[in-house]
Amino acid sequence: MKTVDLRSDTVTSPSQAMRREMANAPVGDDVYGEDPTVNRLESMAAELLGKEAALFVPTGTMGNLLALLSHCGRGDEYIAGQEAHIYRWEGGGGAIFGGIQPQPIDFEEDGTLDLEKVRRVVKPADYHHPVTRLLCLENTQGGKVLPLDYLAKAAELAQGLGLSLHLDGARVFNAAVYLGVPVATIAAHFDSASVCLSKGLGAPAGTVLCASRELIGRARRWRKVAGGGMRQAGILAAAGIHALEKNLQRLTEDHENAELLAAGLGHIEELMVSQARTNILFVTPPAGSADRLRQTLATEGILLGGGDQIRLVTHLDVTGADVERTVVAFKRFFAARGN
């Protein structure tokens, strides 16, 4: 029986076609800048995002870390959402490696940061204060797509205050496909963008950090310092190229499947179901039943995220039939006596 893994879009397995591209990739030593496949992926990514240059790194966490280290110096400060991945879920790397202090503020309901709140936490130029250098946004944020006019206003504010603007765009292609715009239209508002190839795009590993040539030059140095200088990395970059060539437009299928899942689960009285946003939705079962629900569905080969509010994520290894099977399993669980 096939496992339907809805815990995250990081769980995708490289397809046979992707594995063939990886096996056949021409490679060289990327620390010497001599891996043709990495170089090709970096130019492709830079062009797609509309930036001068790009850098291939092992993970999204490293992409964000190198952005922090390249934009900020010791004692500088960045502003990010309270639940932002770059602040909350990356071990405090900016503080550990760069002496960079975060200034978190709450996300709004729609995944944006209120620009008035941002303005209020930017420190005046006074030697009592850290120097506020950078504003970080996330798109998508928990699946939510930030509106384009909001991005324009955020960029205007950042420019007016002398801040750089970084995009944690782990899932920015989901946002672009959802809005029906080239990803460069989103990235244009940012000085740098970090984009995961290993989530819905289906590569086994890898992220590209895209920015000006100058910033990427600094990030390349920090990548080596952080231990992210890989050698024949073309084997991995080939998977990224395949992902960018083959798996972008199909993200709409993931969004459709998330909507189908939300609609199907919405009929279950006991369940609170959020709206599907791009490829992510949340369901809340009655208090005390989340663990039992998770365990029961796991025995049927359906894996759900942790916590009382359960995150469900669709991706290229989840089909329409898998969505139907999941809805049936949920219904069976709640129809059973005692659940």
Ligand X SMILES: *Cc1c(COP(=O)(O)O)cnc(C)c1O
Output the six-digit token pair for 111.
């995944």
- Of 94-153, binders to ligand X (CB under 6 A) are 138
Total chain residues near ligand X (CB under 6 A): 11
Instruction: Judge contact between 51 and 193, C-beta under 8 A.
Output: yes
Q: Is 174 in the site for ligand X (CB under 6 A)?
A: no
| DSSP of 99-113 | -PEEEEEPPPTTS--
Q: Is 323 in the site for ligand X (CB under 6 A)?
A: no
- Of 73-92, binders to ligand X (CB under 6 A) are 85
Q: Is 247 in the site for ligand X (CB under 6 A)?
A: no
- Of 258-287, binders to ligand X (CB under 6 A) are none
Output the six-digit token pair for 17.
């076609």
Output the six-digit token pair for 216.
């990427």
CB of 9 to ligand X, least distance (A): 9
> φ and ψ at 135, to 5 degrees?
-115, 130
Output the six-digit token pair for 96.
């550990």
Residue type, 18: M
CA atoms within 13 A on the CB side of 33: 5
Q: Is 254 in the site for ligand X (CB under 6 A)?
A: no
Output the six-digit token pair for 228.
């992210």
Residue type, 54: A
Q: Which stretch binds ligand X (CB under 6 A): 43-51, 55-63, 99-107, 153-161?
A: 55-63
Instruction: Judge contact between 223 and 63, C-beta under 8 A.
Output: no
Q: Which is nearer to ligand X, 21 or 168 (CB)?
A: 168
Q: Which stretch binds ligand X (CB under 6 A): 53-61, 262-270, 287-295, 315-323?
A: 53-61
Q: Is 59 in the site for ligand X (CB under 6 A)?
A: yes
Q: Is 196 in the site for ligand X (CB under 6 A)?
A: yes
Q: Is 233 in the site for ligand X (CB under 6 A)?
A: no
Binding positions for ligand X, rule: CB under 6 A: 59-61, 64, 85, 138, 168, 170, 196, 198, 207
